[in-house]
Structure 1
Amino acid sequence: MKNKGLELKVGIFLLLGFVALGAFIFSKGLLVLRKEGYEIKVAFSFVSGLEPGAPVRVSGVRVGEVKGMEIIYQEKPKVIVTLWLNEKVKLRRGSQILIRSIGLIGDRYVEIMPTSFTDTPLIGDKDFIQGIDPIPMERLVNLGEDMIRDVTQVLSAANEILSDKEMKISLNKIFKDFLALTKGGNELISKIDSLVGKTEGSVTAFKNLLETNKENLQATVANSKQVTVNLKESTEKINKFLKIAEEGKSTFGKLVKDEKLYSDLRSVLAEIETSALSFRQSAKEFNVTLSKIASEKGTIGKLISSDELHQEALSLLKEIREHPWRLLRTPKGEK
């Protein structure tokens, strides 16, 4: 009875141990309940410690696991990693597949970054994809060491420069000159800004002036074009006239060529000028006469300006209209 009780206790203890181990494995993702899915193959040049069973995540969500790995020996060896993905996962060509780690030196896993394009074909079962190789930790460490070494050298050189008194004086002078130059540059920039503002104002005013006088300017340009055309036509006519005159084909040309006609024309022009002078003299005398009439000098002037004479003249005209035969009556003493 004692042996049976001991065996029962041992059995219960082992059962609890197996249950705890199974729960641990399941919680760590080492055990995946098989569901419907598909496999894809990804090629890497370096997997940085990735192991079979490592999780596969899409945008941080676990969707599968690393099923296996195989090295292909060729000119440059490749590692073909087989990934199992849940059937609900739909990936398109152009998605990025990387190997990352949880933390700085944590476990490795595969991260898939889906593409944003929706017109590329879907990745299917057994499809082959090129992955993005991880950066080896040694390379990162070496890069950090190189950076630290470079910074140390720069700090050492700066310390040597600052410890030199002459160098300090030179640097101080350079710094002061730089401040003065900066101040002058700021003043120059202010002047340039002011000049630009004035220029913009002038341009705006000129633009407004053009807009206001747009019609006048257009009319002026049109008139200038017409004047140019008229001037061109006049020039052509003058040239044509001079050419005809030189050839002596027209009356003017013959007049220019014939000295006798030229002399006769001068005589005619002289007579015309004399007649014009006489006409001007007669007009002047006529104006004087009109002035005298207007000033009531002479019989005509008095007749025009005198109301009494004007009335008598009207009475005489009326009498003649009514009794015209009186003009034929012979005065007494005449036969």
Structure 2
Amino acid sequence: MTISKETKVGILALSTFVILYLGFNFLKGKDFFSPENKYIVVYDNVEGLTAANQVSLSGMKVGQVKTVELIEGNKVKVTLSIRKDLPLPEGTQAILASDGLLGGKLVRLQMGKSSKLVENGGQLLPKSETGITDLLKEQALPLIHNLDSLTLSLRVVSKSFEATGTSVNSLVKNSDKTVTTLGASLNSTIAENKNNLAGITANMKSLSGSLIETEKSLKPLIGKFSSIADSLNALKVSKALATTQQSLEGLQRIMAGIEAGQGSAGKLLKDDSLYSNINRSLADLDKLLIDFRLAPKRYVNVSIFGKKTTPPPAVK
């Protein structure tokens, strides 16, 4: 039996199409030779999950995302294709997580603890996990807003500096003009008063010469005054020493007289009889005062009717 060339070309084309279809689906993760179970998960937001994303358990691929559909209530129905030899207990969670730093998504299984198994076509519990990329986005958004406000502030500051630079430039120009004007005025003033300055300088020279001559004539006079002052000081000191010497000699003579028993003070210190007489006088005066207190009528006798009273005996 002879096969025509057209039949051969058709068989080759069909075989190529089948191989391409199987290869394409194999690259998408479909496996036509291993049996799989299908499970349903309903998410509020899949955040970029697409068909053919992997399903993993403990870091190993155990299946893939079959379909992703939008259903009633704006929810997303995801069909998972998982190996048939992997039983899933009830309560198993299908966690939507990030697949690396590039922002891809995968479904990570977390096994339940029930003894009952989820049947083929059953529903798993949905759960979403915040990945590193999401955390970076959350942290980066406020930073971007702050950078925007900082950029605006820098623009305002730069504009203020531009205005300040213009003011400084005008101020420098005005200062240059002012310095030039002052220099010209100063030069003209110096030129006008040049003769006067020369006369003042000459007068200062003559005055300094006169002061030098006066200093020379005053030096001898100052020396004479110094010698006179020294003489006066020496005279005053000698007079004070002489007077002090005389006073000391008089004091010594008085002390010698007192020591020798001369005068009232010397007799009081050296003569015991004066001391004894003074003691006797004081004792008599004491008796007299006692007697006067006991019998005052003896000394003062006043009688209206002329009657005489006998005084008490005198104190001995």
TM over 0.5: no
TM-score normalised by length of structure 1: 0.34
**Structure number, greater radius of gyration:** 2
TM-score normalised by length of structure 2: 0.35
